[in-house]
Structure 1
Amino acid sequence: MMVRNAQAVIRSERLSLRPLQRTDIPHLERYMGDARVAKATQTIPYPLPPGAVEAVYAAAHAEDRVTDCWAIDGTAMGRPPLVGVLTLEELDRGQSEIAYWTAPDAWGFGIASEAVQALVDANPYRANTIFAVVFQDNPASARVVTNAGFRWLGDAEAFCVARGVLVPTWTYSLKPR
């Protein structure tokens, strides 16, 4: 298993992507505990059980992690220090998979699009291909990845922990510059 170096802070025009901090825990609890956020992700349970946020924080800082986790920090634009989370999982053969969620009060402001574009531009794993999977009932999330240049690969299904069912998905890929 690969030992990760410290994550770099990635900046865009209005945001910074930075490693999670202990001070993010109350924001994580608030947003991850929101059914709208949980049901738009594959992995966040709803209702959020005790200890779930601490487990996310611990996993984000584990030396043997295969996924890096960035807080989407909105302070530069007058928003809270955590308005969402981006993850990048290193797969094999020079491939990665990006996933993200943003706080409901940050929806509609281009925050997810800007954050995804910043991570793609930084390409911290130097991936040859980056994948993204979005639920078909979340077209806004599909717009985020297509705005960043991802191309549709096909339909599939993924289990949503919060919903307790398989949900139809769209899979996208991108060959970074």
Structure 2
Amino acid sequence: MPAPVVLTGARVTLSTPGHADVDRIAEVCADPAIARWTTVPSPYTRDNAVGFVTSVVPDGWASGRVCTWAVRAEGALVGMISIGDIREHQGEIGYWMAPEARGHGIMSEAAALVIGYGFAPAPDGLALRKLVWRALAGNAASAAVARRAGFRWDGVVPGGAEQRGERFDEWRGTLLPADAGRAAGDWPDVSYVQAPA
């Protein structure tokens, strides 16, 4: 079971979210785009944020199944990123970003740090051999981060995603250690066009 670690880049610091972040998490997760593209509860309440930082995050680290970091830029929490569903040397990356921080490459930097940690050998990393990326079809912003990170396009899974009791088409990609950090060029045109939130 990995212990929570802090990852530091040129512009971002990744650390586990805590009690001091509750109000900020509740504020950002009220954003319509986050509700549209993720599986966070909607409407998102302060109690949801409290449960996230007191149960979901620490339980994930303790079990070794989910490693979650707050993305901080200039001291402010601007997003969240995780490697979840960790088993059999693979995991799934997931992330969201505050509206004002989008479009500046911040999440791409955070993803590179997390991917580096995921693929690094133990005890300095998770020793993963594969990372999976999944998003609701139409989430081109998420696709852009995955593409820059080196994920290869796997295709569309009809009805592959579940969000609040409904099924939606899902985009999927795969990243192997040898491809990390090398922008993939095999993505279809549709993945570049953001669907309306």
Q: TM-score, normalised by structure 2?
A: 0.79
Structure 2 counterpart of 1:33, one-letter code:
A
Match of 1:159 in 2: 162
State the distance in 1 between where 2:140 and 2:98 align: 16
State the distance in 1 between where 2:51 and 2:18 align: 13
State the shift of 1:91 in Å: 2.9
Contact 2:153 2:173 in 1 (8 A): yes
Partner of residue 94 from structure 2, selected from 99, 104, 124: 99
Contact 2:65 2:85 in 1 (8 A): yes
Matches within 5 A, 1:1-177: 4-41=1-38, 43-49=39-45, 51-58=47-54, 59-62=56-59, 63-64=62-63, 66-75=65-74, 80-123=75-118, 124-156=125-157, 157-161=160-164, 164-177=165-178
State the shift of 1:167 in Å: 2.1
State the shift of 1:5 in Å: 3.5
Identical amino acids, percent of aligned pairs: 28
> Are the structure 2 counterparts of residues 95 and 65 from structure 1 closer, same or farther at C-alpha, using a change threshold of 3 Å?
closer
Answer 1 or 2: higher relative contact order, Cα 8 Å, separation at least 6: 1
State the distance in 1 between where 2:113 and 2:105 align: 12
State the shift of 1:46 in Å: 1.1
> Are the structure 2 counterparts of residues 122 and 64 from structure 1 closer, same or farther at C-alpha, using a change threshold of 3 Å?
closer
State the distance in 2 between where 1:167 and 1:133 align: 12
Q: Secondary structure at the match of 2:87?
A: coil
Query: Cα deviation per residue 1:84-103 (whole Å; 9 max; x = unaligned)?
Result: 00011143221111100000
Q: Which has the higher helix share?
A: 2
State the distance in 2 between where 1:71 and 1:31 align: 12
> Are the structure 2 counterparts of residues 49 and 30 from structure 1 closer, same or farther at C-alpha, using a change threshold of 3 Å?
closer
Gaps in structure 2 of 5+ consecutive residues? 119-124, 179-197
Q: TM-score, normalised by structure 1?
A: 0.87
State the distance in 1 between where 2:45 and 2:15 align: 25
State the distance in 2 between where 1:36 and 1:135 align: 12
Contact 2:108 2:149 in 1 (8 A): yes
Contact 2:136 2:171 in 1 (8 A): yes
Gaps in structure 1 of 5+ consecutive residues? none
